A and B are shown apart, each in its own frame.
Chain A
Amino acid sequence: MKYLTTVDSQPYEIEIKSEREVIVNGERVEVDFQSVADEPVYSLIVDGRSHEAYVYPEQNGLSVLMVGRLYQVTVEDERQRRLREATGGLTVPTGDFHLKAPMPGLVVAAPVEAGQSVERGSILVILESMKMQNELKAPREGTVTQVRVRPGDRVDQNQILLTLS
C-alpha cells in the first residue's frame, strides 16, 4: 500500500510492502517494527539503529514523540489523497466555533453572554481542574451565540461550553 506522508511539512512517499519492508522515496528499507507495552509506544530498528517513539493519533494526523522531540505527521493513502484533490480545498473553514472542555472540571466563571462580541484572546470560560484555574480563550473574534454552562457546573471532557459564530 502506498502512502503520502508529511513530517513537519516535508513530504515522503512511502510504500509498505510488509512490516519488514518499506520503500521510502523509491528506496528500499528493511525495518523491524514492534509495538511495545501495547500501543502507543513503538520500537523500530532500521539499519541496526534502534528507535523508540510514542505515536498518538491527533485531530489532523499523528504525533510522533521521539527522544524528547515532537513531530507532526500526516499520513494519506491514495484514496484519501484523490478525495482531497477532488475537493480541491473547497471546504472553506466556516461556521461556528464550539468551545469544548479540554478536560473535566468545574466552571469557575463564564464572563461572556449570548450576543456579546469578543476579540481574539478574550477569556470565554474559566475552568478549574487539578487545582489550577485554566482560562479558555477565544481563538478568533466573533459573536457569542450561546453559553451552555454556568459557574458551578461540573463538565466532562469535550463537553461544549459555548458557541461562537
Chain B
Amino acid sequence: MFTKVLIANRGEIAVRVIRACRELGMETVAVFSEADRSALHVRYADEAYLLGPAPSRDSYLRADRIIDIARRSGADAIHPGYGFLAEREDFARAVGEAGLIFIGPKPSAIAAMGDKAVARKTVAGAGIPVVPGTEGEGSLRDDEIVAIAPQIGFPLLIKATAGGGGKGMREVASAADLPALLQAARREAEAAFGDGNVYLEKLVLNARHIEFQILADEHDNIIHLGERECSLQRRHQKLLEEAPSPFIGDDDELRRRMGEVACQAARSVDYHNAGTIEFLVDKDRNFFFLEMNTRLQVEHPVTETVTGLDIVKEQIRIARGRKLHVTQEDIHLNGWAIECRINAEDPYNNFLPSVGRIAQIIPPTGPGVRVDTGVYPGFEISPYYDSLISKLICWGETRGEAIMRMRRALEEYRILGVRTNIPFHQSILDSHRFIAGQYDTRFVEERFSINAAEEGKETLPDIAAILATLVAHRQGQQAAQIVRRGERDTSNWKWVGRWERMHR
C-alpha cells in the first residue's frame, strides 16, 4: 500500500490532489516546469522537483522524467490530474512497469475509451446508444471523410480521435466547408495531441451535455454519483457546470436509467477508479453516449458538493485496493451546486487570453462558497498553459439559492493584474434563460451576447462618469508630480542655456 504520491500536474488540480493526500496523511511530491517554480503546488507539496523548460512537451508531458523522479523520491504512486498525461495509455502502462501505482484506470481501459472511435464501437456493442458517426474507423483519409460525410448528413462535427476540451473540433454546416475545416481540425489536433486523426459525428441540435460521475473499485462494485449539467459551453469549452441538471430535474427515472447506462459503459471496458460518461441528450429526452473521460474532471467539485464525497480521496482509496465504502443506495443529491470556471480571458475582447502578473486577489468567502485555485498575488500567468486560474463553486439548498449565492460570490471576487471572464459569468447568471434552466450547448454562441445581456439591466452611468473622472484626475495629478519630482536644482531654462553653450 502506497504512502507517497507524486502529482504529475500543475495549477489548481495539483493543489486539489495535494490537499486530498494531506488529509489522508500521505506524503506528496510535486513536479514543476521552469515557469512554475513559485507555483502553489510546489509550495504546498512535501517535495518538489524540476522537470524542465516551460513548454509542456519539455516538462509536464515528459513521462520518462516524471517516472524517474518518482523512483528517486521514493514515491510509490502517481496521480495524473486532468490533461497532460492523464489519458495517455502509454504513461499509465509505463508507471505500472516501473513498479508504481497509477491512480486511475488500467491502461487497457484508457486505451479502449481514449480512442474516441474505438470507444463508440465498444459501447455500441454493449447496447448503449451512440450519436451517428464514423465510429470504429480510427484513421480515415481526407477523401474518405469527404465521401462519407453526406451519409451522416450536415450539420456535423469533426472531432479529434485523441481529443478533448474542444481542441481539433470543428462544426461543418455544409459539404463545401468540409475540406478547409478538416485541415484546421487536423492541424489543431496534431498540435494539441500529436495525433492528427479525426472522425465525424452527427451534430445533435438543441443538445444538452449531461455527464455522470462513476466510481468503480477493483472488487466489481460500480456506482454513479449522479449527473452534472455541462451544457454551458463556448467553442466546446465548458464554462459553467451544475449538479444536478435542471433538465433532468426531478425525473428520477431518467436519472436512474442514465446512471445505469453509465455504469454499464464503464463495465464494458472493465473500468476501475473515477471516471465520467458524457451524454448528449436531445429535447425529447433521448440520450446518446458521447465519450468517457478516464480521469478526474475539472468540474468534479459540483458532484462533491451535492454528494458530500471527496472524489480524489475515493480515487486514492480505490487505487489502494479498498472496497467502495458507499453503495448506490447511500448516494443522495443534497441541494444544488454551481461551478464557474474563472479563466484569464477578456470577455469583452473575443475571449482572448490575458497574461501577466496577478497583482491582487480578494477571493469570495462565507457560507456555501468554495474556491479551488493554483494562483496567488505575485504569480505570473504564462502563455504556456491553459487559462483556467480558479474554480468558484457555490452550494445552495435550492437552485435559486445557489444562483443568488454565486452572484454575490462573483461580485465579491476581485482579481487584479489579468482580465478574467467573471463579468461573463455575471451576465449568464442574470440571463432569464439560464435562470429558467433553458439552455443547450449552443446557447452561449447563438443566443447570448455579453453586450446584449447588459442592456436593460440597471445601469449607473452617473457613478461610472464620476469614478472615471476622479481616476483620470488623480492620474493627471500624479503625472504632474512626477514631472516636478524630476526638477533640476537650477531652472530648466538655465540648464538648456548651459547645455547649448557647451555644444557651440
Contact = CB atoms under 8 A, between A and B. Distances in A.
Most buried by B among A37, A104, A132: A132
Contacts of B411: 67-68
B385 interface: yes
B463 A66 contact: yes
Interface stretch (B151-159, B185-193, B204-212, B245-253): B185-193
B444 to A, nearest CB: 16
A53 interface: yes
Contact of A105 (B383, B474, B476): B383
Interface residues of A, number: 56
Given A19-B470, A29-B466, A7 B461 contact: yes
Contacts of B385: 130-131
Nearest to B354: A103
A69 B187 CA distance: 37
B272 interface: no
A78 B359 CA distance: 34
Nearest to B423: A68
B423 A70 contact: yes
Interface in B423-470: 423, 426-427, 430, 454, 457, 459-470
A54 B383 CA distance: 24
Given A131-B385, A134-B352, A67 B426 contact: yes
A131 B165 CA distance: 10
A44 B466 contact: yes
A75 B471 CA distance: 10
Contacts of A64: 464, 467-468
A73 interface: yes
A73 B465 contact: yes
B416 A3 contact: no
A38 interface: yes
Interface stretch (A9-17, A81-89, A112-120): A9-17
A65 to B, nearest CB: 6
Nearest to B387: A130
22 contacts: A12-B469, A14-B465, A16-B469, A16-B473, A44-B470, A66-B460, A67-B460, A68-B410, A69-B457, A71-B461, A75-B472, A103-B355, A104-B355, A109-B187, A130-B385, A130-B386, A131-B167, A132-B167, A132-B386, A132-B387, A134-B352, A134-B353
Given A33-B467, A62-B471, 8 more contacts: A5-B469, A7-B461, A37-B414, A42-B470, A55-B468, A70-B454, A130-B383, A131-B165
